[in-house]
Amino acid sequence: MESVFKIVKINFIAVIALLVYLASIAAKLIARTLENLIVLLGAAIFILVFTPFASIIKTCLQSSEYFFYVCLVIFLMFFTIVGLFALLILTVFSGIVRFVLTIITSVTKFLVGCMEAIAEFLLDAYKKLYDICDTDCDKLFSSNKGLKNQCLCLLWTLLKLFSFITSKLLSFAGPLSIVGSVAVVIGAIALVQSNISDRFGISIITYLGLFPIIEIILPIIYFIIMVGVLVFLVSSYGYGWEDWEKLDVTY
């Protein structure tokens, strides 16, 4: 009867340990994402600022040569005036700008610190639960029915296997992030190629050749920015897993 209770206890704790382990990994990933929040905001601001200027340039280039030069002069004058005015505003309100940036940075660091602390706490809890299961299993395996009990502790066995595989994969997190970044670029291009091929039955190069250069510059820039941000995010997940790599897990 005592052996049955221990078997149920081991399997139950193994399930909880697995959930805690997955939660620790999720918390670590969230912390990494929050660290990249400034990059995401920067990309969004660049797109918002770049879009109207790109539209003006596109309109000028699509018009006649005379109109293009007139618009170019007006644009340069406007840009100079706006630039000087913006510089004046930044000089006057530099304290406010610095204060806002300080708040954003401080809040981001606080959230990252919280998620890092949660991840470490969950990882420590997982280690304790793992040790409890390991100790109880050692006691069961030393009895005459050790083999039978080992077969009944299926969830514990699966937890050991999962932890072993995960720790080994995280030890290669750096190279895997590089492979993932390459996969993001290839996947994005393949997705665009697939959509164009399904709709028009032609390749990307052929499709782009159907439009003037000025028509395709803006979409290409947007595509490069979005893919670049994704590559940066994926590559940033390849470090900071030392505590997970050092788990004393054997299978």
pLDDT in tens for each of the 251 residues of the chain?
667 777 888 889 999 999 999 999 899 888 888 888 777 777 777 677 666 666 666 666 555 555 555 566 566 666 666 666 666 566 655 666 667 777 878 888 898 889 989 988 998 999 899 888 888 887 776 654 555 555 677 888 888 888 888 888 887 888 888 898 899 999 999 998 888 888 888 888 888 788 777 677 777 878 888 888 888 888 888 877 776 766 655 55
pTM above 0.75, yes or no: no
Q: How many structural domains are present in the chain?
A: 2
Q: Indicate if 88 and 144 belong to the same structural domain.
A: yes
Q: Indicate if 188 and 161 belong to the same structural domain.
A: no
Q: Indicate if 67 and 98 belong to the same structural domain.
A: yes
**CA 67/CA 61 separation, integer angstroms:** 9
**CA 100/CA 187 separation, integer angstroms:** 37
* C-alpha dist (Å) from residue 199 to 154, 192, 209: 50, 11, 16
Listed in sequence order, the residues at least 6 apart from 71 whose beta carbon sits closer than 8 Å to its beta carbon are 56, 59, 60, 63
Domain range for 189: 171-242
Is residue 250 in some structural domain? no
Is residue 251 in some structural domain? no
Is residue 26 in some structural domain? yes
Q: Indicate if 40 and 95 belong to the same structural domain.
A: yes
**CA 79/CA 61 separation, integer angstroms:** 18
pLDDT given for residue 109 in this prediction? 86
Q: Indicate if 36 and 95 belong to the same structural domain.
A: yes
Q: Indicate if 141 and 230 belong to the same structural domain.
A: no
Is residue 249 in some structural domain? no
Is residue 75 in some structural domain? yes
Instruction: Identify which of 114, 87, 100 has the alpha carbon closest to the alpha carbon of residue 38.
Output: 100
pLDDT given for residue 19 in this prediction? 92
Is residue 177 in some structural domain? yes
pLDDT given for residue 34 in this prediction? 84
Task: Give the DSSP letter of residue 209.
Answer: T
